[in-house]
Every structure is written in C-alpha cells, then in structure tokens.
A and B are shown apart, each in its own frame.
Chain A
C-alpha cells in the first residue's frame, strides 16, 4: 500500500534560514507526489506536485522539492524562511487516479 512518512511533527527555524521538511514515501508503482499547505484558519492548498519528468519541482511562495527515487524521498525546501511561511505542511502520494493519501503533517514555526 502506498503511504508517506513525514519526519518531524514540528520544525522551528529562524526567519531567513533554510527550511527543510522531510518526506519519505512507499509505493509499489511510480508515484505522484504532492506537498499541500494549511495556513491557520484556511483550507489546504497545493504547494507543488511531481508527476513525471524533471525531478526538481518548483512551487508557489519560493518552495521546491526534489523527487529522489533511490532514497524514496520528496523533501520540501525553501532557501530563506519568512514569517508568513508558518503553517502546517502535508506530504501526500496518490497511488491511482483517484484518492490522495496524506502524511501526518509537519508544523513549521518561524522565529523572528
């Protein structure tokens, strides 16, 4: 069965520092991988996704993620954190054309 594991339920970084949120997936078929973000009191929205092709995927708000098949990873990064990046981040995988399976989430806090 397809699944994702997010390492670290809470990550705290200083403003301007590198953001790294870790995600490892398990899939018996080539996966489609996603990062969604949930800002306080808002619905989930897509940050970026990997389907096929280029393994480095760029998303909104300066985030990017790299699909590494050999490591079964899809870590999310941003070179310089902003206070507005504070949110809950969810890695997700879809094993088929239908449902998306979400990880348990990582809460990102930004220190001034």
Chain B
C-alpha cells in the first residue's frame, strides 16, 4: 500500500492553456473521487468513479472539466481553457467500498496545486 499518488504536485499555467492531472489510487480500490479545495474552504466534490464508470459529476462543474478512468485504475482530470478562478488544490481520493460501511474511509492524496496566471 503506497497510498494515493498525484502528479504533478504543482502546476503553473497561463490563462487559456489546458492542463491535465493524474491520480493513482491505492491498487485494490475501485472507487475514486476528485475534489477541489481553495484556501480556507473545505474540499468541494467534483466527480466520482466506480471502476471505470463515472457515476456522478457535480452540477457546479463546468464543461471545461473532464475526468477519465479508462481501465479502472489511474484517473486523469483535464481542465481546458483554464481561468484564474480554476486556481486551487485538486485532491484525489480512493476507497474500497461505500462510505456507509463501518471500516471504510477515503484515502486522500497530497493534491495538485494549480496556479493560473
């Protein structure tokens, strides 16, 4: 168990550019989540995968955001035509089962800090 890995740790980009982040969950975890966190706020839910299926996507999520988990393992989050308001920490988390189970919890990665200039 090497934990949830996110790459890169930091990304600086110019407004209008596209960026892509990668998340490698814990190997046996079939559930994967993306969150966004800005300074002084809690994590904001973006999207959720069970295996390769994207089962839920936040209504707040712009069409510029897209996420994939093609083989049910790693996931990518792409932001097209970035805006300054996209600057945030993007967090990935994974779990084995559903959160109502007694011994289940989310395992979070360290995040990717995006700065849009």
Chain A residues with Cβ under 8 A from B98's Cβ?
A: 97-98
Do A105 and B41 touch (CB < 8 A)? yes
Number of chain A residues whose Cβ lies closer than 8 Å to a Cβ of chain B: 23
**Is the CB of A11 closer than 8 A to any CB of chain B?**
no
A-B interface contact total, Cβ < 8 Å: 61
Knowing A102-B43, A103-B42, say if A51 contacts B101 (CB, 8 Å): yes
Let me know if A98 and B42 touch, CB within 8 A: no
* Chain B residue with the shortest CB-CB distance to A42: B110
Chain A residues positioned under 8 Å from B90 (CB to CB): none
A49 interfacial contact with B, CB 8 Å = yes
B25 CB–A CB distance under 8 Å? no
Whether a CB of chain B sits under 8 angstroms from the CB of A100 is yes
Do the beta carbons of A32 and B45 come within 8 Å of each other?
no
Cα distance, A74 to B48, chains bound together (Å): 25
B48 & A99 in contact (Cβ 8 Å cutoff): yes
Which residues of B are found within 8 Å of A105, using beta-carbon distances? 40-42
Quote the shortest CB–CB distance from B29 to chain A (angstroms).
14
B52-68 residues with Cβ-Cβ distance < 8 A to A are: 55-56
Min CB–CB distance A23 → chain B (angstroms): 11
Residue A55 lies at the interface, judged by CB distance under 8 Å to chain B = no
Q: Which of A6-30 contact B (CB under 8 A)?
A: 9
A90 sits at the interface (CB 8 A): yes
Residues of B within 8 A of A (CB): 4, 31, 33, 35, 40-45, 48, 50, 55-56, 91, 93, 98-102, 105-106, 108-111
Given contacts A44-B43, A44-B106, A101-B45, 20 further A-B contacts (CB under 8 A): A32-B99, A36-B106, A43-B91, A43-B109, A45-B108, A49-B105, A90-B42, A97-B99, A97-B100, A98-B31, A98-B50, A99-B45, A99-B56, A100-B45, A102-B35, A102-B43, A102-B45, A104-B41, A105-B40, A105-B42
Task: Give 19 A-B contacts (CB < 8 Å), ordered by A residue.
Answer: A36-B106, A43-B109, A43-B111, A44-B106, A49-B99, A49-B105, A51-B100, A51-B101, A94-B100, A97-B99, A98-B48, A98-B56, A99-B33, A99-B48, A100-B99, A100-B106, A102-B44, A102-B45, A104-B40
